[in-house]
């Protein structure tokens, strides 16, 4: 094990996969000499050169379109979109091209590409640079959606995503880049569709997404002082979703709280709840509860933004209401 930041873990995954497979290349805005807006690609230009670490114009539609074409012709591109919000400009290429090709060609076409994008609030980046939009991509058949919360998961899932023959939307939270954790040396692959129990418990299941995993773990610490043991589960991927791990937990705890930073309406909490409901309905002792952001644009003002983002206190209060 080595301790490193989330950003360093992603960098290591990219470096190892580019060394392993010469068809892997990177493209995006300022990813070469500058190392990317969040320094994830720092140093890769020196090792792999401008053919495999390509700066692009500010043209998200073109970035993802280029990745689709490259994937169809035998490469494994990893495209970076500087902010998740800007995926609105590239959604046609991802949803109507990348996601549909394999199905429309009867499995004969492969689209092995990854789109990395950064989401989330907490930096006063205002409403156009702070959204959590994972639910958009969960709704599109033909795309996998990975959303790791720790350095180890970030590295293991990115390596898996690059090797997969289908398009993967790889979502990173901006406030996670500086977080630290242990990462195994070598080829530590994490399969898509395998959730992780971050903290075992017996009284309530808390399913949390992305940075909210850390918020849920803080809430579990607060609840521990009251004698309440919360089990915290990180789905790690939203497509495919590991329903079995979540359902097995709820059958033991009889309660479920789902936490995400995205707005409540149309968020993945509703999909997770309905996915597990047939498995757990007879075991529930209380309604499924969700803790989310409000149905509002993300505020620029730091104090308002702090009230917008779910907190450990809100998660703990939701758990206490079920008990």
Strands of 24-28's sheet in order across: 53-55, 24-28, 76-81, 114-119, 168-173, 144-146, 237-239
221 phi/psi in degrees, rounded to 5? -65, -45
129 classed as catalytic: yes
- Rounded Cα distance between 257 and 7, Å, is 29
Pairing relationship of beta strands 196-199 and 230-234 according to DSSP bridges? antiparallel
CA 245 to CA 184: how far, in whole Å? 23
User: Which of 129, 173, 214, 260 is flagged as catalytic?
Assistant: 129
CA distance readout (Å), 55 to 33, 35, 102, 155, 319: 9, 10, 28, 23, 46
For residue 163, which of 14, 63, 38 has the smallest C-alpha distance? 14
- Checking 220-226 for CB contacts under 8 A at 24+ apart, the result is 221/312, 222/312, 222/313, 222/316, 223/316, 223/319, 223/320, 226/320
The structure tokens listed for 115 are: 């789109």
- Tell me the chain's radius of gyration from C-alpha atoms: 19
Residue 303: is it exposed, middle or buried by C-beta count within 10 angstroms (0-12/13-18/19+)?
Answer: exposed
> Burial, 236: exposed, middle or buried (Cβ in 10 Å; 0-12, 13-18, 19+)?
buried
Phi/psi of residue 316, nearest 5 degrees: -60, -40
Which amino acids are annotated catalytic? 129
């Amino acid at each position: 094990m080595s301790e490193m930041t989330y950003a360093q873990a992603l960098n290591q995954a990219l470096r190892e996969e580019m060394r392993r497979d010469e068809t892997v290349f990177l493209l995006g805005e300022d990813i070469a000499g500058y190392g990317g807006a969040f320094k994830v690609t720092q140093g890769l230009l020196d090792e792999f050169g401008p053919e495999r670490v390509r700066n692009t114009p500010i043209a998200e539609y073109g970035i993802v379109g280029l990745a689709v074409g490259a994937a169809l012709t035998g490469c494994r591109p990893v495209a970076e979109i500087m902010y998740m919000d800007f995926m609105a400009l590239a959604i046609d290429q991802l949803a109507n091209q990348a996601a549909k090709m394999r199905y429309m060609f009867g499995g004969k076409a492969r689209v092995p590409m990854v789109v990395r994008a950064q989401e989330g609030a907490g930096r006063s980046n205002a409403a156009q640079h702070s959204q959590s939009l994972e639910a958009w991509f969960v709704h599109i058949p033909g795309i996998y959606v990975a959303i790791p919360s720790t350095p180890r998961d970030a590295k293991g899932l990115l390596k898996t995503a690059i090797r997969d023959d289908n398009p993967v939307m790889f979502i990173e939270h901006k406030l996670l880049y500086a977080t630290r954790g242990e990462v195994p040396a070598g080829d530590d692959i994490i399969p898509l569709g395998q959730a992780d129990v971050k903290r075992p418990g017996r009284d309530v299941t808390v399913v949390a997404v992305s940075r909210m995993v850390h918020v849920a773990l803080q809430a579990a610490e607060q609840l521990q002082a009251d004698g309440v043991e919360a089990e915290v589960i990180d789905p790690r991927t939203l497509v495919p979703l590991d329903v079995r791990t979540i359902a097995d937990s709820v059958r033991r705890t009889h309660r479920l709280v789902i936490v995400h930073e995205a707005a409540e309406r149309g968020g993945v909490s509703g999909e997770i709840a309905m996915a597990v409901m047939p498995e757990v309905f007879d075991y529930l002792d209380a309604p499924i509860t969700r803790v989310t952001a409000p149905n509002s644009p993300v505020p620029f003002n730091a104090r308002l933004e702090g009230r917008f983002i779910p907190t450990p206190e809100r998660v703990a209060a939701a758990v206490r209401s079920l008990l």
